[in-house]
Structure 1
Amino acid sequence: MSSASLLWWVIPVVVLLILLLIAFTIHCVTRYVPVIARIFEFSPQFRPRIEPTRREGQTVTFPTTGGIQLTGTYLPRRRGSRRVGVAVVCPEYLGNRWGALHYIDWLRDLGFDLFCFDFRNQGESQSDPSYHPLQWVTRHEVADVLAAVAYLDSRPDADPAGYLLFGISRGGGAALGAAAKTKRVWGVVTDGAFPVKETMLVYLKKWANTFVRFRGILPWVPDWFNHLLCRLARWSTSRRLGCRYVNVGRAAARMSPRPWLAIHGQKDQYVPVEVARALAAYASPPRLLHVVPRARHNKAYDVDPQGYRAIIETFLERFAPRLPDDRPHDPHQPARLADSPTPSSHPQVAVPLVTPKTALNPNHDPFAVTSSNPTRQVVDPVEPHSPTTLQPDSNPILTG
């Protein structure tokens, strides 16, 4: 057969395959993207921690984007003549600032001031009538965290060293998004944080068998095509709900090399550990994923409060800009500046950096995932990011 005759056979076959691919794509987009968008907008029956307002601290209001007024409370340290640092507490979806303090209020005993606030459309903060929040982090939540940092910077006792961000679930994603946009954050601690894109992909695979008629084709569908469907669904949802979703993985990469401690429950029924590992893999060292056995979503502190405090305290001993008054001097470690009441009166006195009693990573590998179980210190190494490694597990993936 001549080359010309072969082309007459090959060209129609190639054109037919292209037309079939286009038809398949149009079919999936028109049939399944609306379904994915509806699932994406589904909010599980969360039971967020909501606690009554305390009569302590200084309650303030401060502006955020859209002319919305947020409510927050500044809580001073309980002991120590010198302030060790200031932590901004970002609550979970549907939770309030007082419930978020349940996880971190003990930092005040170490010399930290805390500033907890309510996101827009939550707690005592104003609501934006044009925005319908979900469990996914958007630019609105990131803007609210940045507004909290801007408020702290406007205070006469603003910390010249910057701030620690502590976020729970969606609040953790918002904290990472804010840290990527301002250098006034020196570190981040999250509990149950998750990325939008990767969690949605696992969610899609989990429910695909329910909605796809020809299930035999699912193993042959590449991840890039699933990502395309998810991207279109997010675009549709963002237009309808008046928001833009945050690429939390990209934000985690951009906040490096500032330190990040990610805490996650091994039995998380909403966000499996594989998703947390994928998110942690975006960031460069120093960062650590600490897995708490038997803990469900946002329940790591309740399962192991002693281990929860220990891992955070060790993280702060290594990375906080200052240390409490009662820490011993180690002449072999570099020094850190002591506290100052205002940015304009920065002191020249240094406080030594001590070596933590327990290493942040037992194997001295900043990529490691640790466990609070003393009989199993290292669960698994954090591998470089690879979206194709994410697979649904036996847990119901409802993303929260």
Structure 2
Amino acid sequence: MKWKKAASILIPTISILGLSQISTKFYRYGFARVDPPLAPDTDDPDYLAAFNEFSRWLGQQEKEHWWLYEDDPRNRIHALYLPNPQPTKKAVVIAHGYHGNAQTMAAYAKMFHELGYNVLMPDNRGHGESSGDWINFGWLDRLDYRDWCLDLVEHLGEDCEVVLFGVSMGGAIVMMMSGEILPEQVKAIIEDCGYSSLHEQLAYRAKVEFHMPRFPTIPIASLINRVVLGFGLNDVDSVKALQANKRPIFFIHGEKDHYVPTSMCFKNFEATSAPKEMWIVPNAKHAEAFAIDPEEYQSRVSTFLKRFGL
């Protein structure tokens, strides 16, 4: 019967070692920097045509290159600043999504320009022209964005008004910023399809994409991340941050979002007691709300901002 006892020890051990190796690969797949192509990965000719049109618009605009921590090669963070053609004290900080960069947010930059805002579009750590080999899913980015807000106040003056806007991972960034001490000039937040927590998002993606169990996949990935980036996956929590939020916030999410489940939007909405609105966009998949109906999207954003005098 000794073989049975040995098997009872060896089989779980081998299984755990195998899952550990797979979890490590999962971490590399999800967290390693990937510089994206200039065009989106899509077969939809209308989407591609619209993307190219917004990219051409961005290329024609007056732009400035801004930097945080410019003298620190390991932490240099880049942003594009687009002053509005009409002098204004209003500004928006636009946070891009996973594997994106500032330039992929051209459509939203144009929208806010038309609404009368100066636009600041950072490249998150591990994206675009910013430094970093690993993606931090907004936890470190949220502090960089706070510093971008301080730079805007210095640039535009103490009487400026700043709005935070983000899509997907960018939506999570601006939600997590809401739990921080921010400059008083930050007046409102708009988030589009951000996740409720990184733990829940990665567990969901591991299940639907790789058919991997939450345990030990996520704990192992969290341990690796604590070594690599200095924090655990449970720290990256939009819901927890929103519980401290006092600023007006507008939640947008696609009805058919199966990448960041629409249910997460309801969790995020319920987490804050601040003035809030929610729009679940019919037939929209992940990050498609603007593409589904740009005019309606801009109208709803404008109405929300005007409600709070912005």
- TM-score past 0.5 threshold: yes
Residue 200 of structure 2 is aligned with which of 198, 201, 219?
Answer: 198
Corresponding residue SS for 2:59: coil
Q: Which structure has the highest helix share of the two?
A: 2
Question: What is the deviation of 1:230?
Answer: 6.1
Letter in 2 for 1:177: M
Query: What is the rounded CA distance, in whole Å, between the counterparts of 1:280 and 1:64 in structure 2?
Result: 34
Query: Which residue in 2 is equivalent to 1:168?
Result: 167
Q: 1:37 to 1:283 in 2, by over 3 A?
A: farther
Residue ranges of structure 1 left out of the alignment (5+ in a row): 1-24, 213-225, 323-400
Contact persistence 2:19–2:217 (CA under 8 A) = no
5 Å-filtered alignment, 1:54-93, equals 54-64=59-69, 67=72, 68-79=75-86, 83=88, 85-93=90-98
Query: Which residue in 2 is equivalent to 1:237?
Result: 224
Query: What is the rounded CA distance, in whole Å, between the counterparts of 1:230 and 1:251 in structure 2?
Result: 25
Contact persistence 1:60–1:71 (CA under 8 A) = yes
Query: Which residue in 2 is equivalent to 1:118?
Result: 123
Contact persistence 1:65–1:144 (CA under 8 A) = no
Q: 1:74 to 1:33 in 2, by over 3 A?
A: same
Contact persistence 2:206–2:212 (CA under 8 A) = no
Letter in 2 for 1:265: G
Query: What is the rounded CA distance, in whole Å, between the counterparts of 1:283 and 1:234 in structure 2?
Result: 29
Query: What is the rounded CA distance, in whole Å, between the counterparts of 2:134 and 2:250 in structure 1?
Result: 30
Q: Please say which structure displays the higher CA radius of gyration.
A: 1
TM-score by length of 2: 0.74
Query: What is the rounded CA distance, in whole Å, between the counterparts of 1:259 and 1:230 in structure 2?
Result: 36
Contact persistence 2:125–2:134 (CA under 8 A) = no
Q: 1:249 to 1:72 in 2, by over 3 A?
A: same
Question: What is the deviation of 1:196?
Answer: 0.8
Residue 127 of structure 1 is aligned with which of 131, 134, 145?
Answer: 131
Query: Which residue in 1 is equivalent to 2:46?
Result: none
Query: What is the rounded CA distance, in whole Å, between the counterparts of 2:221 and 2:275 in structure 1?
Result: 31
Question: What is the deviation of 1:274?
Answer: 1.3
Number of equivalent positions: 276
Query: What is the rounded CA distance, in whole Å, between the counterparts of 1:71 and 1:311 in structure 2?
Result: 30
Query: What is the rounded CA distance, in whole Å, between the counterparts of 1:66 and 1:190 in structure 2?
Result: 32
5 Å-filtered alignment, 1:1-400, equals 32=19, 35-36=22-23, 38-43=25-30, 47=40, 51=55, 54-64=59-69, 67=72, 68-79=75-86, 83=88, 85-123=90-128, 125-128=129-132, 131-133=133-135, 137-155=137-155, 157-184=156-183, 185-194=186-195, 195-203=197-205, 206=208, 210=211, 229=216, 232-239=219-226, 241-244=228-231, 245=233, 246-254=236-244, 256-320=245-309, 322=310
Contact persistence 1:77–1:111 (CA under 8 A) = yes
Residue ranges of structure 2 left out of the alignment (5+ in a row): 1-11, 42-50
Question: What is the deviation of 1:59?
Answer: 0.9
